[in-house]
């Protein structure tokens, strides 16, 4: 049976709160207020005979749809609802002018990877999520003379192309009151970018993405993150994309490896 889709409202929060932990992403459940502000506006739920069976949360970027969460209730899996959620996402992305889509998934999540391959996506690269307390940051040598500052919206394209970011990703970050885009510049050239998430859910300050052109610039970018830290931010958690030398440097300074993730992408079906 095909599910019916509806936009998320506050009344759906209990369903979301039950389904969200299925992601096992290590993130705390957002509060109702946080969910309504940051996630619900681009979340829809799938229901069958009035019962919620799953949900999807997405971001429509510039020409690219970013699938952020796809969850089907454990008792409702293998009935085609995951595929139906992906089809609805593809429809929304196409309507919004996108021709490609992407997402992140844990390499051991065979069900999700099976679903994404079934809709034509393929693996692009691997990332690792690392957590460093501020003492570990202090063990990294800084590079003198290079400090970070907030990236201006008119610099987004320069930074995006330097790091091959997903088009529209930085603009999406800037739409959220608790997020910041920081850049490192050498002369006028971008040499680092961090998209901070200042939300204090589990004591960490997150950055996704976190990119530098040379691993040794990581300290400068982490110092810039730390300038935004409150006493509740006990450590930094950064997503390192496809950059084993940078991950190695941070692990050597005492970073803890939290999770590996794979980036999948593809053309939207019908393109």
Ligand X SMILES: CC(C)(COP(=O)(O)OP(=O)(O)OC[C@H]1O[C@@H](n2cnc3c(N)ncnc32)[C@H](O)[C@@H]1OP(=O)(O)O)[C@@H](O)C(=O)NCCC(=O)NCCS
Contacts of 150 (CB under 8 A, 6+ apart): 180, 181, 182, 183
Nearest to 168 by CA among 263, 65, 42: 65
The minimum distance between CB 188 and ligand X, in angstroms, equals 38
Stretch that binds ligand X, among 4-12, 40-48, 113-121, 230-238 (CB under 6 A): 113-121
Assess 261 for contact with ligand X (CB under 6 A). no
C-beta closer to ligand X: residue 120 or 254? 120
Q: Which of 8, 71, 159, 250 binds ligand X (CB under 6 A)?
A: 71
Assess 110 for contact with ligand X (CB under 6 A). yes
Backbone angles phi and psi of 7, in degrees to 5:
-70, 145
The burial class, CB within 10 Å (0-12 / 13-18 / 19+), for 95 is exposed
Q: What is the DSSP letter of 142?
A: P
The burial class, CB within 10 Å (0-12 / 13-18 / 19+), for 171 is middle
Q: What is the DSSP letter of 228?
A: T
The minimum distance between CB 122 and ligand X, in angstroms, equals 14
Q: Which of 82, 190, 206, 266 binds ligand X (CB under 6 A)?
A: 82
Contacts of 173 (CB under 8 A, 6+ apart): 179, 180, 181, 195
Total number of residues binding ligand X (CB under 6 A)?
20
* Cβ proximity of 32 and 24 under 8 Å: no
C-beta closer to ligand X: residue 81 or 210? 81
Assess 101 for contact with ligand X (CB under 6 A). no
The minimum distance between CB 112 and ligand X, in angstroms, equals 4
Q: Which of 78, 144, 154, 270 binds ligand X (CB under 6 A)?
A: 78
Stretch that binds ligand X, among 67-75, 139-147, 212-220, 234-242 (CB under 6 A): 67-75
C-beta closer to ligand X: residue 112 or 162? 112
The minimum distance between CB 40 and ligand X, in angstroms, equals 18
* Cβ proximity of 167 and 160 under 8 Å: yes
Assess 77 for contact with ligand X (CB under 6 A). yes
Assess 260 for contact with ligand X (CB under 6 A). no
Contacts of 135 (CB under 8 A, 6+ apart): 254
Assess 48 for contact with ligand X (CB under 6 A). no
Residues forming beta bridges with residue 181, ordered by sequence position:
195
* Residues counted in the chain: 271
Question: From the CA atom positions of the chain, what is the Rg in Å?
Answer: 19
Q: Which of 28, 63, 80, 142 binds ligand X (CB under 6 A)?
A: 80
Assess 182 for contact with ligand X (CB under 6 A). no
Q: Which of 45, 46, 60, 70 binds ligand X (CB under 6 A)?
A: 70
Residue 209 C-alpha from the chain's centroid: 8
* Chain residues that interact with ligand X, rule: CB under 6 A: 22-23, 70-72, 77-83, 105, 109-112, 114-115, 118
């Amino acid at each position: 049976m095909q599910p019916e889709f509806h936009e998320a409202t506050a009344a759906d929060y209990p369903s979301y709160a039950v389904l969200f932990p299925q992601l096992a992403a290590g993130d705390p459940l957002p509060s109702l207020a946080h969910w309504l502000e940051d996630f619900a506006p681009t979340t829809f739920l799938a229901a069958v005979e009035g019962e919620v069976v799953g949900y999807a949360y997405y971001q429509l970027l510039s020409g690219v749809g970013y699938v952020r969460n796809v969850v089907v209730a454990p008792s409702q899996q293998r009935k085609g609802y995951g595929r139906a959620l992906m089809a609805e996402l593809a429809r929304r992305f196409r309507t919004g002018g996108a021709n490609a889509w992407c997402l992140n998934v844990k390499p051991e999540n065979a069900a999700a990877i099976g679903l994404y391959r079934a809709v034509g996506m393929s693996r692009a690269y691997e990332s690792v999520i690392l957590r460093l307390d501020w003492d570990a940051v202090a063990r990294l040598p800084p590079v003198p003379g290079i400090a970070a500052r907030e990236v201006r919206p008119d610099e987004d394209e320069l930074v995006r192309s330097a790091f091959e970011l997903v088009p529209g990703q930085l603009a999406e970050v800037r739409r959220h009151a608790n997020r910041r885009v920081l850049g490192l510049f050498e002369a006028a050239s971008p040499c680092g970018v961090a998209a901070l998430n200042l939300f204090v859910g589990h004591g960490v300050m997150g950055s996704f993405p976190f990119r530098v052109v040379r691993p040794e610039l990581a300290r400068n970018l982490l110092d810039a993150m730390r300038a935004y830290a409150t006493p509740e931010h006990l450590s930094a958690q950064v997503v390192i994309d496809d950059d084993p030398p940078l991950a190695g440097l941070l692990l050597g300074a005492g970073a803890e490896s939290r999770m590996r993730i794979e980036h999948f992408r593809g053309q939207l079906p019908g393109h």
